[in-house]
Amino acid sequence: MSTILNIRCAGTAVSQLFILNEKQQQLQKYQIAFQSTVSNVKVENLERKSSDVEWQKALPYKSIPRLTRYQMMRGFLKGGEFANLSLNDFVFKCRERLGDIYRLPGVIGQPDSVVLFNVDDFEKVYRTEGMWPSRPGTDAVRYYRQNRKDGFFKETMGLNDNGENWAKFRHEVNPVLMQPKNAKLYLDPLQKVNLEFLERIRDIRDPQSLEVPDNFFVDINHLAFDSVAVVALDHEFGLIRKNPDLEEVKILCEHMSAFLKSIYDLGIKPSFYKYITTPTYRRFAKSMDLIFDITNHYVNEALARLAVNPSKDGEERSVLEKLLKINRKTAIVMAMDMLMAGVDGTSSAITAILLCIAKNPAKQQKLRKELLAVLPHRNDQFTIENMKQLPYLRACIKEALRFYPLAFGNAREIGANIVLSGYQVPKGTGALISTNMLPNEELFFPRPREYIPERWLRMAHATLPDGERLIAENVNKFINLPFGFGPRSCVGRRIVEIEMELTLANLVRNFSIEYNYPVKKPFTYHLISTPAIPLKFKFADLK
């Protein structure tokens, strides 16, 4: 009996000791967590103090080199020094005069903004943008949507909104558009459109010279439209070959660029559109009305079609169906935003890629070799899996977008009081960040005016056989951001990437591509690049 009692007592002691040890371990965890919290607070306080010291030592905001309000107003009037300049030409002209940071004063109700060319400033802006980054420049779109008489956009203004409403919209659409597992939703319909493009080239090229007509950009634009529309509207328009004269869609394509043009004409240039309805705003609103009406029509058509033939259990739904599951307005607004942002930009990007690959036959052959190693037969289909095995394909595209930047860079609203290039810049100031123009400068990319896709291959360590580096050491990662950065990066990035990859891969697999004309200044810039030369590519069939 005493033995049992002793065992019980021993067991109780062990149990108590175990509980005590557990409590001590828990206490240690709390102490470690507390110490960690205290440490983090100390670090944050030190950073804040350091930031405060930097702020106090910095030059005041008003001392940033700037244009005066009079210079802004007079410069953009008819006959003024900025009147006929694109955005790129305007900001570079000001850079020559004012330096790598300068201020554009707010006029006619617009806020001030700073233009940044100093790479050290880029990260500061991005790192302080917060959870809900605000993007200036799209006020005209918000103004239009806020003032539509039917109040359609009252619940959401889509990707062009700011603050919590923008965050809510992105939270709803991101899982549909950005998750890698959904990429297969885009691949098959995009491939089908792409193969139509190959046949279109064979239809329109000259039988003797094998060159396509001067206006080949129209066909590239139709490719981009059909590709975006088949995803956004779940509808095969056939603009490339079957219905090239579809009047409604041709008009839509013509008006699509109004959205991008408005960011410069109504967001940076002085404009009275919020006070009186200017001719520029009237044209813009007309384009927005047309885009809304056509998009609304096709989304409603898709709803009717799906009501008759719903997806079966276990069958993968289209992108539009997934968006409609959220709600009808989200689907319509997202479709509009995809069309407005995705067609013109993708068309110009594909043009840039083709110019680079056509003028660099050795790189074209190297790419063809990679493609044939992964897909040896012309009828082999692209899959998500085999596309992962094409690093040189992606490098060719990335280098083309460095060589011919699609746009000046990115725009942000400064998220906190920060010091940029030694100047105080207050929270809420707009910033134009030249992330995409600096890659053409020797400081960051040696031999910048040479097309060298090898820069982007990890296994090459960005060097040439003679040891010369192709990317400057410790190059700032915030340079060359064609799809933006952070929460406000392009929501349709994966769709556009697949479209560019398919287009280049299919063309190189089927044709030898040449461009036998000068390519000096091949693009003009308004907000994004637009071809300024006839695109008479030669497409010779491969044996």
User: What average pLDDT does the segment 408-415 reach?
Assistant: 89
- 165 and 50, same structural domain? no
- 51 and 19, same structural domain? yes
Is residue 456 assigned to a domain? Answer: no
- 163 burial type by CB count under 10 A (0-12 exposed, 13-18 middle, 19+ buried): exposed
- 188 and 303, same structural domain? yes
- 238 and 143, same structural domain? yes
Q: What is the pTM of this model?
A: 0.85
- 187 and 55, same structural domain? no
pLDDT (tens digit, 9 = 90+) per residue, 236-256?
888 888 777 777 777 777 777
Find out whether 480 and 439 touch, Cβ atoms under 8 Å. yes
Find out whether 306 and 324 touch, Cβ atoms under 8 Å. yes
Mean pLDDT is lowest, of 216-220, 293-297, 478-482, for 478-482
pLDDT band at 2 (very low <50, low <70, confident <90, very high): very low
Domain boundary among 121, 150, 184: 121
Is residue 14 assigned to a domain? Answer: yes
- 298 and 199, same structural domain? yes
Q: How far apart are the two ends of the chain, measured CA to CA in Å?
A: 97
Find out whether 454 and 419 touch, Cβ atoms under 8 Å. no
Mean pLDDT is lowest, of 13-17, 113-117, 330-334, 366-370, for 13-17
- 393 and 287, same structural domain? yes
- 364 and 219, same structural domain? yes
d(CA 372, CA 356): 20
d(CA 412, CA 432): 7
pLDDT for 33 beyond 50: no
pLDDT at 506: 96
pLDDT at 16: 43
pLDDT at 532: 93
Is residue 434 assigned to a domain? Answer: no
d(CA 419, CA 24): 47
Mean pLDDT is lowest, of 144-153, 199-208, 322-331, 387-396, for 322-331
Handedness of CA 372, 374, 380, 384 (dihedral sign): negative
Is residue 214 assigned to a domain? Answer: yes
- Domain extent for 53: 2-121
Work out the mean pLDDT of the chain and round it to a whole number.
84
pLDDT (tens digit, 9 = 90+) per residue, 114-157?
999 999 999 899 988 888 888 887 888 999 999 999 999 988 88
Number of Cβ atoms within 10 Å of the Cβ of 319: 24
User: What average pLDDT does the segment 381-400 reach?
Assistant: 94
- 144 and 117, same structural domain? no
- 364 and 238, same structural domain? yes
pLDDT (tens digit, 9 = 90+) per residue, 427-467?
999 999 998 888 888 888 888 999 999 988 875 445 555 66
- 394 and 352, same structural domain? yes
Is residue 474 assigned to a domain? Answer: no
Is pLDDT larger for residue 282 or for residue 245? 282
pLDDT at 209: 97
Domain total in the chain: 2
pLDDT at 46: 38
